[in-house]
Amino acid sequence: MIKTANGVWKLTLGEPEQFTPERFRENAIKIEEIERLPVSQKLPFKETSISWEKTKRGITITLPMKTDEDIYGFGLQLQSVNHAGRRRYIKVNSDPAANTGEGHAPVPFYVSSAGYGLFVNTFRYTTFLMGTNTGRGTSSHMTAENKIHEEFSEAALYALKRAKEERSVIIDIPAADGVELYLFEGSIPEVVQRYNLFSGGGCVPPMWGLGNWYRVYGGSDENDVKAFGKQFREEQIPISVLGLEPGWHSHSYSCTYKWSYLFPNHQEMIDELTAAGYRFNLWEHLYVYPMAPFYQELMDVSGDYEVWNGLVPDFAMEKACRVFEDYHRENFVKKGISGFKLDECDNSDYNPSNWAFPDSTQFPSGMDGEQMHMAIGVLYQNLIQRIYKQENARTYSQVRSSGALAAPLPFVLYSDLYNHKQFIKGVVSAGFSGLLWCPEVRDCANGDDLLRRLQTVVFSAHSLINSWRIPMAPWKQTDIKKNLAKEEMETADYYTAECRKLFELRMQLLPYLYSAFVEYSKTGKPPIRSLVLDYPDDLAVRMIEDQYLFGDSLLVCPLTYEEGTSRKIYLPEGSWYNFFTGEKLEGGREHTVSAAYNEIPVFAKDGAVIPLAKPVESVSRDTVFEMEIRTFGEAEGSFCLYEDDFETFAWETEQNRVVIEKKADSEPVITREGNGPVRYCF
Ligand code: GAL
């Protein structure tokens, strides 16, 4: 094994493939930041206990595993969070309907509670058997466990005996002749931080990106979009970003990347709404329609199959990237577009088969379709990110597929599945593998379901309403048919007011959340994360899939509409305070809490110092936030805010640290240091 960084080891088995996630990395390992992390645990096994063999179908690797090991990671997982005892099939799939491991952003990385993490540097559809299988004869002497039936019942029939001996992790990588493994030492949080810093550190979105987003109806024309802009301001709904859906293209499946008949004066619309404080995000995907202006140029740098009659550009080739980048830079980025929604770049297994290219596709770079499916989400993000870097403007964008080493990419994942319970699991799971996830609000059964979903959304990485199917905001009408007929529901005023409160709450939390992202970039600690990452030794949190930390101080316990108005929560050791009412609850135990449909249970840690901003309707380069400091409990505490221009890459060198310290029995003390602009006033 070769030491790559402090607590990071590389093991090369056989002859690795040419195309790997590492080969396409655009962000260097944050070596110094990794040095600063403690290593509380060494690898729990010796190198010699990792075995591997080359078989006809590829590579099989075996690692030791104990019966009590808990396993997290594997990218965005919507069906479960703890993967011990599970088979994980790491394959990109836009419809992760079952708990197989497939999904929009599967990542061949896991972290084990035994004190290590493993990243397999491959684009192959890899299967990880996390303690599910034992070798021939392992159970032959286990007569105590494997008793004969003494009764017939389904329980007895299926009471599979968990092997008492140590289990194994078995990794099956097809097609490859060899592979590189990276092993990360430490406790669960240390491993996750190490992996994220190894990836290049977390992204720092522009402040506007953390505000509220509204994706407008796909059939909207430029006047409708302007009307939305006006209406949100009149109704004091603080929306920062307007997203345009497929209708803006003159042909969208596949794409022309040209404005349609609905937007004859699109530049005027962009300029007018930009002056009113809005940002624009454009929907697209990478399948290039014959009438796209750069179609011919891409012909020799595309795969040998089409999707929706469009070319599939080979983004592993410099020319394909350049053609795409140049066009996007000149026609959109320089014209005031702040980001893109990179749709449909995940493999689709359930839709008609022309929704995806075959795994056997050959790309001119030499990649095959399987590798390209696993790579394309990240290659597409890299390409867009390069444009914004060149323009010295930060983007915050959306993408429907991602993969390994993605922490530095300012893109948020989303899905078409719309199951709120699963979306909450996504919030909990994404942070283990350097991903950001948006539990977007789209379809909702009724107004209370809308509120429940919006509560989760405002406490997520991306506060987004995706109204691409409905011409009126969902708070005016949740029934799609009636919405299409422009019929408002009777309760529209009530739901408008309740949604406004949630949007304003998000705006209050912007500086707090921004700090969590700056720390993500410096320490690798995910801004939104599972309780396991802050309480790794508390066994009671290991299976929790519906509570999470939002920044360092807030614990969020969302409810779905179906769950009604009360739920069980678990609070780790210590005192906790209801964020809205201040009510104190003791931790180290479960509680049943009630929350009306317009309330969400959120708790602040003892000693929490939470700076809140007076909500602004949108954030610009000269916005100065008026801050109020809230403190919770008796314990001493502090919080660090970061000030910079909030939108360019100048933050890397010009940034202030504003430290708020709360000592017992005295007012919080604020100190500021750095060379950045002053953006917070107290
Ligand atoms: C889907 C996407 C939706 C919407 C739609 C438009 O793939 O997930 O959010 O953009 O395409 O066709």
pLDDT over threshold 70, residue 548: yes
Position in ligand 1 atom list of the atom nearest CA 400: 8
DSSP 26-79: -S---HHHHHHS---S--SS-GGG-EEEEETTEEEEEEEE-TT--EEEEE--SS
Ligand 1 centre distance from Cα of residue 343 (Å): 7
How many C-beta atoms surround the C-beta of residue 449 within 10 A?
19
- Ligand 1, atom 8: closest residue by C-alpha: 416
Task: State if residue 340 touches ligand 1 by the CB under 6 angstroms criterion.
Answer: no
Can you give the pLDDT at residue 149?
A: 80
pLDDT over threshold 80, residue 160: no
Task: State if residue 283 touches ligand 1 by the CB under 6 angstroms criterion.
Answer: yes
Extract the tokens encoding 209.
């990106």
pLDDT over threshold 60, residue 162: no
- Ligand 1, atom 3: closest residue by C-alpha: 416
DSSP type of residue 353: G
Position in ligand 1 atom list of the atom nearest CA 245: 10
How buried is residue 163: exposed, middle or buried, by Cβ count under 10 Å (0-12/13-18/19+)? middle
Q: Which of 172-181, 231-240, 345-354 has the lowest mean pLDDT?
A: 345-354
- Ligand 1, atom 6: closest residue by C-alpha: 246
Question: What pLDDT, in 10s, does the model give residues 103-131?
Answer: 999 999 999 999 999 999 999 999 999 99
DSSP-based three-state secondary structure for 678? coil
Residue (of 357, 448, 338) closest to 396 by Cα position:
338
Ligand 1 centre distance from Cα of residue 332 (Å): 20
Task: State if residue 344 touches ligand 1 by the CB under 6 angstroms criterion.
Answer: yes
Judge contact between 301 and 317, C-beta under 8 A.
yes
Ligand 1 centre distance from Cα of residue 415 (Å): 9
CATH says 2-135+155-199 is which class?
A: mainly beta
Question: What pLDDT, in 10s, does the model give residues 646-661?
Answer: 999 999 999 999 999 9
Can you give the pLDDT at residue 164?
A: 53
Question: What pLDDT, in 10s, does the model give residues 445-499?
Answer: 999 999 999 999 999 999 999 999 999 999 999 999 999 999 999 999 999 999 9
Q: Which of 53-57, 134-138, 197-201, 399-403 has the lowest mean pLDDT?
A: 134-138
Task: State if residue 284 touches ligand 1 by the CB under 6 angstroms criterion.
Answer: no
Position in ligand 1 atom list of the atom nearest CA 218: 6
Ligand 1 pocket test: which of 254, 283, 341 has the largest number of ligand atoms within 8 Å of its C-beta? Answer: 283
Q: How confident is the model at residue 155 (pLDDT cuts 50, 70, 90)?
A: confident
Please give the average per-residue pLDDT across 436-451, as a whole number. Answer: 96
DSSP 221-253: -HHHHHHHHHHHHHTT--EEEEEE-GGGBSSTT
The residue count of the chain comes to: 682
Looking up tokens 């403190």 gives 631
Ligand 1 centre distance from Cα of residue 134 (Å): 42
CATH of domain 609-681: 2.60.40.1180
CA distance 529 to 531: 7
Can you give the pLDDT at residue 664?
A: 79
Can you give the pLDDT at residue 336?
A: 98
Ligand 1 centre distance from Cα of residue 400 (Å): 9
Position in ligand 1 atom list of the atom nearest CA 285: 7
Ligand 1 pocket test: which of 254, 416, 440 has the largest number of ligand atoms within 8 Å of its C-beta? Answer: 416
Ligand 1 centre distance from Cα of residue 122 (Å): 29
Q: Are strands 116-120 and 106-112 parallel, antiparallel or unpaired?
A: antiparallel
Ligand 1 centre distance from Cα of residue 401 (Å): 13
Looking up tokens 């290590």 gives 116
Judge contact between 421 and 560, C-beta under 8 A.
yes
pLDDT over threshold 80, residue 415: yes
pLDDT over threshold 80, residue 587: yes
Task: State if residue 466 touches ligand 1 by the CB under 6 angstroms criterion.
Answer: yes
CATH of domain 526-605: 2.60.40.1180
- Do domains 2-135+155-199 and 609-681 share one topology? The answer is yes
DSSP-based three-state secondary structure for 288? strand
Question: What pLDDT, in 10s, does the model give residues 260-285?
Answer: 999 999 999 999 999 999 999 999 99
Task: State if residue 243 touches ligand 1 by the CB under 6 angstroms criterion.
Answer: no
pLDDT over threshold 80, residue 313: yes
CA distance 192 to 466: 31
- Ligand 1, atom 10: closest residue by C-alpha: 245
Please report, for the chain, the start and end positions of each structural domain, with discontinuous segments joined by +. Answer: 2-135+155-199, 526-605, 609-681
Ligand 1 centre distance from Cα of residue 344 (Å): 8
Question: What pLDDT, in 10s, does the model give residues 60-82?
Answer: 999 999 988 999 999 999 999 99
pLDDT over threshold 80, residue 144: no
24 or 163, which is more confident: 24
Position in ligand 1 atom list of the atom nearest CA 344: 7
CA distance 543 to 383: 37
